[in-house]
Structure 1
Amino acid sequence: MARKKKSKVGMWWEDVQKRMKKLNKKKAISFLKAEVPHLHHQEKKQTIEVEFNHSSVAKATAIAALTILFFVFLYYIGGILLLFFIAFLFAAALDPLVDFLEAHKIPRFLGMLLVYLVLFFFVGLFVSKVAGLVADQVVAIAQNINGAVINDNVNLEGIPFGKQLEPYMREFVDAVDIQSAAVQVQNVFSFLSDQVVSISIGLFNTLIVLILAFFMVVEERFIDDFFLTIFPSRYGSYVSTRMAAVKDNVGLWLRGQFLVSVIATILSYIGLALMGVNYALTLALISGVGMTIPVVGRFFAWVPTVLIVASQSPELAFWMSIYYLIIQQFENNLIVPYVMNRAVGLNPIVIIFALMVGGQFLPVLGWVLAIPVATTIAIFVKDFTRKGKEV
């Protein structure tokens, strides 16, 4: 018959008995008093460990299941959350204007209505005066671009290193299907007319965003009450405070981004018009829209612009590129440090990474929303790392 293995407690008791035999009665009693609590501690520790193992498995399973359900839930309501986040950004940009009007004895409700009226007035003015002209120029570009960029009779002598660049330029043009590009541009308006349902949904979503932003601005404690409701009391106050910081930083960034885009549009139009570039207004607007994308926006705006200007004159395209480079240096050294970096304070590498991730999810809107999302995450990450250092 196999010998039964002794437990740790049994082995401990045998050891105590052996040691007590070597002691007198008084010392044995003292020794026993010292060892009995140790025994109680060992038994309690073993019991706790068994209970902890069972509970940890149950907790881990529950957490995993809840996490999966949470992400599935987010997947289905992702579009709704996106609308709320865009409304939050829009409200953050307009909030200081309403605060200014409120300081001059205008109620927030009326102040927000006034801001919307001014905004709609300028949008309507742009559509009535500028959009038609831009549409005509886009059609003209599409009609004239085919075969007009660079052909066999091109003369690059007016450009520095033009003769050296000419073979590479010819290679580039041969690789570009200009005719296909022209057809695609001409089909833009017919494509839009066929997308009535998509346009209607877009207009409805825009209306929802405007309504949400309106109430977010008018109801000052909307965001605070929202987070205090969905989070426990000990976390709700913290999240509410940090989201207020997010609102301030993102609002400053959006206003700065708008300022940079307007300045880029004006400077681009002045330079292109003085150089005699055709379609100067459309190209300037392309530059302004491109500047809504941080870091790489100017390059994205330059690529179509230089191709269109090259169809008029390669030499003009060269000098236009130099002018755009000067504008970029002006913006990067004077405007961006004061407005953009103060608002977000993100490393350029982080910005580029955020743009790549945003573009992966939403090719256009993702680029615009990437920085606000990265700013939001950065604020909470800084708090987390700061607490880690304090510990």
Structure 2
Amino acid sequence: MLQYLKDWYTRKFSDPDAVTLFLLLVTSFAVIIFFGDILAPIIVALVLAYLLEWPVQRLLQTGLPRLTSVLVVYTGFIGVFIILLLFMVPVIWQQTVTLVAELPQMLSQLKVLLNRLPEMFPGYISEANINHYVQSTTEKLLAFGENLLSQSLSRLVGAMALLIYLIVVPLLVFFMLKDKRQLLDHINAILPNNRRLISQVSDEMNLQIMNYIRGKAVEVVIVGVVSYLCFTLFDLRYALLLGVLVGFSVLIPYIGAAVVTLPVMLVALFQFGWSAMFAWVMIAYLVIQALDGNVLVPLLFSEVVNLNPVYIIAAVLVFGGFWGFWGVFFAIPLASLVKAVITALRSPLTMATETKLADQEANS
């Protein structure tokens, strides 16, 4: 066994390019793990810069200079950001406060509605099971509310950091867009000469990340707006808040859609009860989720490497455990990175090096 591991190590890391790639990945992951909180503004700015680079490239194709293109796109970005901050955020905050205040009343009405189920389905659902389920759910929601309140009180100091982010992040985005070539030259100057595999992986991942961030942004907007319009059509309360939740739920593949179903169902059940309107709201919501998964996602992510759902869910769990929200957000690109590294290590040049080394061992 030890000899097999030694032979594998010799084959894989006899190529200096492979060693350089391995050291770069280890160093990058270590820096993000240990200094992720400090680097959070840079990560946010980098995501936004990737998102805004696409319209900048479209303007460059029309013949505009890069500085002019960056100024046009950046001005539009700041305008949209101010509109959202002044108009959407206060409404969402107000609906959130109202929803939290009405949550105990919702739970009481939910208990009444659930108690009707034993009469509707005798022999299948018992009143004891309903009471146990309601009590367990209530205790968990109360514990969650207390935890959320304690965290909110303990993080009042973070409001100042948030204001700093609102100033620092836009500045970082502007200079990342404006001085893109200069920053890339600085990075290339730091990297070692043996970087064939690094270049191969970075070229593939640059395209993957740009397409992924752009696709996710479009998906969030489309799903959120369509959900808001649908909920408004049914005159569902907290339509804007629920629409935003449904929109952002697409950031977490598979899991997000399942989690956000609970508040949508709870609000609809509290407002309409066991009625036909409640059924129509849930049917419309499920249709939106089905169209997102089967129509919108294939259209937006046709250029992104296809990964098996098992790998995606595993990536969400693993990288989310390491880096929280950003690990979940970049779960698919990080899984694609692992795939790109494996592909690079199995590239013709690397395999030729392994074959040459194996021949030398055989001759000796």
- TM-score bucket of the superposed structures, by smaller chain: 0.7 to 0.9
Q: 1:335 to 1:179 in 2, by over 3 A?
A: closer
- Give distance in 2, aligned partners of 1:183 and 1:101: 47
| Residue pair 2:111, 2:134 contacting (<8 A) in 1 also | no
- Give distance in 2, aligned partners of 1:100 and 1:76: 37
Is residue 2:179 matched to residue 1:219?
yes
Per-residue deviation, residues 323-381 of structure 1 (Å, max 9, x unmatched): 22211211111111122253232221111111101221233332113223223333222
Q: Which residue of 1 aligns with 2:67?
A: 109
- Give distance in 1, aligned partners of 2:217 and 2:110: 39
Q: Which residue of 2 aligns with 1:126?
A: 84
| Residue pair 2:269, 2:278 contacting (<8 A) in 1 also | yes
User: Match for 1:221: what amino acid?
Assistant: R
User: Match for 1:369: what amino acid?
Assistant: F
- RMSD, matched Cα: 3.7
Per-residue deviation, residues 57-116 of structure 1 (Å, max 9, x unmatched): xxxxxxxxx99x969973654445555444333322211211122223332223223222
Q: 1:72 to 1:177 in 2, by over 3 A?
A: closer
Per-residue deviation, residues 159-190 of structure 1 (Å, max 9, x unmatched): xx7665674554422222279649938975x9
Q: Which residue of 2 aligns with 1:359?
A: 320
- Give distance in 2, aligned partners of 1:72 and 1:275: 47
Is residue 2:203 matched to residue 1:244?
yes
Per-residue deviation, residues 211-250 of structure 1 (Å, max 9, x unmatched): 3433333234346424422222231x65345323322221
| Residue pair 1:142, 1:183 contacting (<8 A) in 2 also | no
TM-score by length of 2: 0.74
TM-score by length of 1: 0.70
Q: Which residue of 2 aligns with 1:323?
A: 284
User: Match for 2:254: what amino acid?
Assistant: V
296, 308, 321: which one aligns with 1:347: 308
Q: 1:389 to 1:176 in 2, by over 3 A?
A: same
Tell me, which stretches of 5 or more residues in structure 2 are unaligned? 1-22, 356-364
| Residue pair 1:354, 1:371 contacting (<8 A) in 2 also | yes
Q: 1:71 to 1:116 in 2, by over 3 A?
A: closer
| Residue pair 1:250, 1:375 contacting (<8 A) in 2 also | no
Q: 1:179 to 1:329 in 2, by over 3 A?
A: closer
| Residue pair 1:269, 1:281 contacting (<8 A) in 2 also | yes
Per-residue deviation, residues 101-148 of structure 1 (Å, max 9, x unmatched): 222333222322322221221222122222222222222212222133
Q: 1:356 to 1:282 in 2, by over 3 A?
A: same
Is residue 2:219 matched to residue 1:266?
no
Q: Which residue of 1 aligns with 2:135?
A: 174
Q: 1:119 to 1:178 in 2, by over 3 A?
A: farther
User: Match for 1:198: what amino acid?
Assistant: G
The alignment partner of 1:232 has SS state of: coil
Give the C-alpha shift of residue 157 in structure 1.
7.3
Q: Which residue of 2 aligns with 1:232?
A: 192
Flag the structure with more relative contact order, 1 or 2, with Cα contacts below 8 A and sequence separation at least 6.
2
Query: How many pairs were matched up?
Result: 323
Q: Which residue of 2 aligns with 1:296?
A: 255
The alignment partner of 2:52 has SS state of: helix
Q: 1:139 to 1:170 in 2, by over 3 A?
A: same
The alignment partner of 2:324 has SS state of: coil
- Give distance in 2, aligned partners of 1:384 and 1:360: 27
Q: Which residue of 1 aligns with 2:331?
A: 370
Q: Which residue of 1 aligns with 2:214?
A: 255
- Give distance in 2, aligned partners of 1:277 and 1:162: 28
- Map 1:1-391 onto structure 2 (within 5 A): 74=31, 76-80=34-38, 83-149=41-107, 150=109, 153-154=112-113, 167=127, 169-177=130-138, 181=142, 184=145, 192=152, 195-205=155-165, 207-222=167-182, 224-235=184-195, 238-240=197-199, 242-315=201-274, 316-387=277-348, 391=355
Q: 1:232 to 1:308 in 2, by over 3 A?
A: same
- Identity, in percent, stands at 23
The higher radius of gyration belongs to 1
| Residue pair 2:312, 2:332 contacting (<8 A) in 1 also | yes
| Residue pair 1:92, 1:247 contacting (<8 A) in 2 also | no
